[in-house]
Chains A and B, each alone.
Chain A
Amino acid sequence: MTDLDDAVRNLARLDASSGFAATVRARVDADAPAAARWPRLAVGAAAVAAAALVVWFVGARPGSPIAEVASKPTSPTEAPQARTQPLAADPGAFAAVAAIPRSSVSAGRRARRPAVRPPMDHERALAALELPGALEVPDIDPPPLGVAAMAIQPLEPPSELTVPDLPAGGAGPGDR
């Protein structure tokens, strides 16, 4: 065993402090078992569900604050009396609102919101632009590639062909 090994062993052989075990035992004793934690979770989940149900029923009742909010117009172009008239006073309007799925108040608002933008009419939009006829493309087929080049510099065929006179039946320079 060298000095280096002794020093490393001194580093590694660390003892737990005197109160370590007691602290762990106290934490173990304070820790609720899993079987005891589940009922608490179930009670908490049931409480949240009950609160959600209460809000849902209160919101569905006529004259409730949630129904009042749902009855308010979202567009300033709507009639002022529609903004001040309670929803419960108009059975027809209440029935219309009640027909809206309760899952989303914003869905009801969207259903009652008038369409601001008309559907797009592309032909009318193009006519409104009054485009000049220059944009109309002439119906001309483009020339083939080689033909276009010949149109720029046409070749002139020779006026007459000149054929050199060859001695008839005589020996040429290579005939030996």
Chain B
Amino acid sequence: MPSEMAGSLHSARALGLPRFNPQSAIPNPQFQGNPTPDSEALLISRVTDAELVEAARAGDHAAFGALVERYQHVVVRTAAAVVGRREEAEDVAQEALLRAFRGIADFRGEASVKTWLLTITWRQALSHRRSIVTHLRRLVSTSDEVPIDPPSSAPRHDEALEARDFQQEVSRLVRGLPAKYREALLMAATGDVTYEEMSHITGVAAGTLKWRVSEARRQLRAKLARRGQ
């Protein structure tokens, strides 16, 4: 992750964006001086979310960019758990992050920055899924939902094909689950959030979410068993 962060900082620099200075947020004297890209990424990784939020509130766009770098994957995964498709999930994630930037002055720190960002993303994704434009777009679109990466551990060609078929079958069955089961299952499967965080994000009790995940797995196993897999 630090190397990705450094690379994106360089790309932000190429775009001419204002740069976040992590040395202003860390009073540690050992980090003073001209930082190299690696040390800069290391510095940013040591800056807390609260410090980045404070800097972003003060108008530092690069500080908010560092937050984006830190949580971009989990934000996109949360959006994908609701909307399904990668393109739509990234659109929703962009809108959610922009909304978070506009409302960063309202962040009171009662929850973690991650939970706050994911709550905004969750609501944005639900709103996106309910919009009539989304329904119309899905009517005319024929592309598949979340692209599937086949497991790389398959040593032989036929096993890889079999794993790919199984993955596609699971993908199709997951899409056929009721929304509340599918969302809980996919969010829990990311491994990025705990059930308590999921409860805060979705407004559903943690016990209910655990039951939904269990029920989703039970239904998937039953359907796979009926297909002889």
Query: How many inter-chain residue pairs (CB < 8 Å) link A and B?
Result: 116
Q: Which residues of B contact A20 (CB under 8 A)?
A: 72, 76, 90, 93-94
Instruction: Produce 1/0 per residue, A101-113, CB < 8 A to B.
Output: 0000000000000
Q: Which residues of A contact B101 (CB under 8 A)?
A: 28, 31
Q: Which of A34-74 contact B (CB under 8 A)?
A: 34
Q: Is B149 an interface residue (CB 8 A)?
A: yes
Q: Is B64 an interface residue (CB 8 A)?
A: yes
| Count of chain B residues with a beta carbon within 8 Å of a chain A beta carbon | 49
Q: Which of A1-18 contact B (CB under 8 A)?
A: 3-17
Q: Which of B59, B98, B167, B188 contacts A24 (CB 8 A)?
A: B98
Q: Which residues of B contact A24 (CB under 8 A)?
A: 65, 68, 72, 93-94, 97-98
Q: Is B132 an interface residue (CB 8 A)?
A: no
Q: Which of B138-169 contact A (CB under 8 A)?
A: 146, 148-149, 151, 166-167
Are B189 and A22 neighbours in the complex by a CB distance under 8 Å? no
Are B77 and A12 neighbours in the complex by a CB distance under 8 Å? yes
Q: Is A153 an interface residue (CB 8 A)?
A: no
Which residue of chain A lies nearest to B97 when distances are taken between CB atoms in the complex? A24
Which residue of chain A lies nearest to B14 when distances are taken between CB atoms in the complex? A22
Q: Which residues of A contact B102 (CB under 8 A)?
A: 31, 33-34
Given contacts A24-B94, A31-B98, A33-B59, contact A14 B11 (CB under 8 A): no
Looking at the assembled complex, report how far the CB atom of A155 sits from the nearest CB atom of chain B, in whole angstroms.
81
A5 to B218, CA, bound (A): 12
A34 to B103, CA, bound (A): 9
9 A-B pairs with C-beta separation under 8 A:
A4-B224, A8-B170, A10-B148, A10-B149, A11-B148, A22-B15, A24-B65, A24-B98, A28-B97
- Please list the residues of chain B having a beta carbon within 8 angstroms of any beta carbon in chain A: 8, 11-12, 15, 17-18, 59, 61-62, 64-65, 68-69, 72-73, 75-77, 80-81, 86, 89-90, 93-94, 97-98, 101-102, 146, 148-149, 151, 166-167, 170-171, 174, 185-191, 217, 220-221, 224
